[in-house]
A and B are shown apart, each in its own frame.
Chain A
Amino acid sequence: MSTITRPGVKAGPSLTARLLASQRFSNLTIFGLLVAIIVFFTVVTPSGTFFSNYNLTSIALAGSQLLILSAGVTFLLIAAGLDLSVGAVVVFSSVLAAKLMLGLTSGLAGTAQGGAELWLPILAGVGAGVVTGAAWGLVNGMLVVKSKIPSFIVTLATSTIILGLAQVWTGGMNVSGVPQALTDAFGMGTLLGVPWPVVTAAAVTGLLWVVLARTRFGLRTYAIGANPEAARRAGINVDRHLLAIYCMVGLLAGLVGMIDISRFSTASVSGYANIALQSITAVIIGGTSLWGGRGKMSGTVVGAFIPATLTSGFVIMNLQPFWQNVAVGCVLIFAVFVDQYRRRAMNVT
């Protein structure tokens, strides 16, 4: 092989520029921020109140539902999509599952006590709730892929449609009376001292982490977000891939609904107005690019726990927990600033 001159070796950009532009740096910053928050609250609160087994477990429990949704939304944002309807899907699935459980158990005696005969209705309700979530996700995906309307608008519209349907169905009232057995066994139940919802969140997130980082599905998700035309020319079925991601996010929203009714024994109609934006916030704080093509599950895990950690710390410090909102907003702006900087640094060739 002949010797070839290699053009394009420019003088490197400044150290700060390279630091800001590197993925590892932004992951470390956000992880460092969470550690700093934990250290801060551990120091300023009476000893043992913040960094206690009990408090850490309750933080994990409080963050588990957001984490499950955010893990799915990570795929969606990397593929350059958005889903504003996840909160509505959580509500719809909860209502459907609660109604189904109530209907199936109404003939049985001792509903409140729980018994072996209750498990069929409970499993039927949970299954139906999760499948319904996936079905709504499929509707979102079909609309986005076929209509070519931006996902932001499609899911804004479906979000009010789905929530509206749940409200019409319930008259705007919460559906209470979910079998106590579900709450006892799952919502309040533990596995080796860890609450089941936390176990579920860890399992789901771990699975999706591996899928995103190690599999062909994950790799193609990045490619589609980075350049859908390149993915198409490479023979990837982009529409089908996006459909699968929307469907998965819907399914996870259904799952979160099931965790919700098992924790609170009630299908809440008004409880999830903000969770779609919260999940997008968590994912972006975690370093995933708002413009697609870039992101990591590790960042999402950190991003999803920052709000719950802040809330817990503020409560223990006797401050208003609403300060959490203020802090999260500031972190969000910082995260997007870094992302934008990195994109600009990269586009200069």
Chain B
Amino acid sequence: MTAPPPVLDVAGVTKSYGHVQALRGVDLQVRPREVHALVGDNGAGKSTLMKIIAGAVSPDSGTIAVDGRPVTFARPADAQAAGIETVYQDLALAPTLTAGENLYLGREVLKPGLLGRLGFVDRAAMNRSAERQLSTLGAKLQSLASEVGSLSGGQKQAVAVARASLWGSALIMLDEPTAALGVSQTEFVLKLVEQLRDERGLSVLLISHSMPDVFRVADRVTVLRLGQTVLTEEISALSTNDLIAAMTGAGIPAGGPTT
């Protein structure tokens, strides 16, 4: 029996900005159909690693493979072509456009035939698809015609996630998706994350500061500290204290006393 290759395999990646070594050898493996949390204290290198996986920054050394195939990302479009979509913390949505228009922004559906060649867009098709995508994720909008800017924070996040899941075929990377949300909206977004895995069969890399979120949805977790991978483990084998210890380097043994 051979296990399928990891959806994303980052090995020995380093990156320096001048004298600052942001990443000093990061390993990260995301398996198929798993929610993988990436945690670490401020300055641990999470955002640098995220930018590298999104293709916005090139690593100094190390390798990246998607579905077992080695890849090099020179620009974000390369990462997208490999099936990786990123949902940024400051949502990359156009607030005065509808959900359907946002889902297809930059990749608009054109009408068939001559009208399409003249650049006419097929809003009905985009709306239908948006409705389908959102309902797969368990989110329903009251009106598909309303501007995205008028939706709640959780619904906006749902539109952004739906957009990513429409185009991403391998991995959806979510950057602090619940940072600005209240309790019920957070729960709503975490369900979206589960739906991505369970209904869409995608892998999710969840970058988060929130320990409750990580324990709530993640299957496995990777901890970065000072630009290095210090821990990758099944979430069920860990306690909050273990995670915090790994993040801070406090060296508290699992289950050990806390001060």
Chain A residues within CB distance 8 Å of chain B: 1-10, 214-217, 219-220, 222-223, 225-227, 229-231, 233-236, 289, 293-294, 345-347, 349
Contact = CB atoms under 8 A, between A and B. Distances in A.
5 closest cross-chain pairs (CB), A and B: A8-B152, A234-B106, A4-B138, A7-B184, A293-B96
Contacts of B184: 5, 7-8
14 contacts: A1-B138, A9-B142, A10-B152, A219-B108, A220-B105, A222-B94, A227-B94, A230-B105, A234-B92, A235-B107, A236-B106, A293-B95, A346-B150, A349-B151
A229 B92 contact: yes
A230 B199 contact: no
B215 interface: no
A346 B159 CA distance: 17
Interface string B100-138: 011001111010000000111100000000000001101
**Which among A217, A229, A230 has the highest number of chain B CB atoms within 10 Å?**
A230
Contacts of B95: 226-227, 293, 346
B100 to A, nearest CB: 11
Nearest to B199: A1
Contacts of A234: 92, 105-107
Contacts of A6: 139-140, 188
B159 to A, nearest CB: 11
B97 interface: yes
Interface residues of B, number: 44
B97 A216 contact: no
Contact of B152 (A7, A214, A220, A345): A7
B165 interface: no
Nearest to B116: A216
A235 B184 CA distance: 33
Given A1-B136, A217-B119, A349-B153, A8 B199 contact: no
Nearest to A233: B92
A231 to B, nearest CB: 7
B119 A216 contact: yes
Interface string B67-96: 000000000110000000000101111111
A236 B191 CA distance: 31
A8 B182 CA distance: 10
Given A216-B121, A220-B108, 5 more contacts: A5-B188, A216-B120, A230-B105, A231-B106, A349-B151
Contact of B97 (A3, A8, A223, A347): A223
A24 to B, nearest CB: 11
B154 A7 contact: yes
Interface in B174-188: 184-185, 187-188
B94 A233 contact: no
A9 B101 CA distance: 22
Nearest to A225: B96
A9 B154 CA distance: 10
A236 B108 CA distance: 11
B209 to A, nearest CB: 21
Interface string B181-205: 0001101100100010001000000
A1 B135 contact: yes
B151 A227 contact: no
A214 B94 contact: no
A349 B156 CA distance: 10
B147 A346 contact: yes
B185 A7 contact: yes
Nearest to B194: A2
Contacts of A2: 138
A8 B151 contact: yes
Given A8-B185, A231-B106, A236-B106, A226 B151 contact: no
Contacts of B153: 8, 349
A223 B184 CA distance: 30
A227 B144 CA distance: 20
A231 B96 contact: no
A212 to B, nearest CB: 12
A246 B108 CA distance: 23
Contacts of A223: 94, 97, 101, 105
B114 to A, nearest CB: 13
B135 to A, nearest CB: 7
B33 to A, nearest CB: 17
Given A5-B188, A8-B151, A349-B152, A227 B108 contact: no
Contacts of B150: 345-346
Nearest to B76: A233
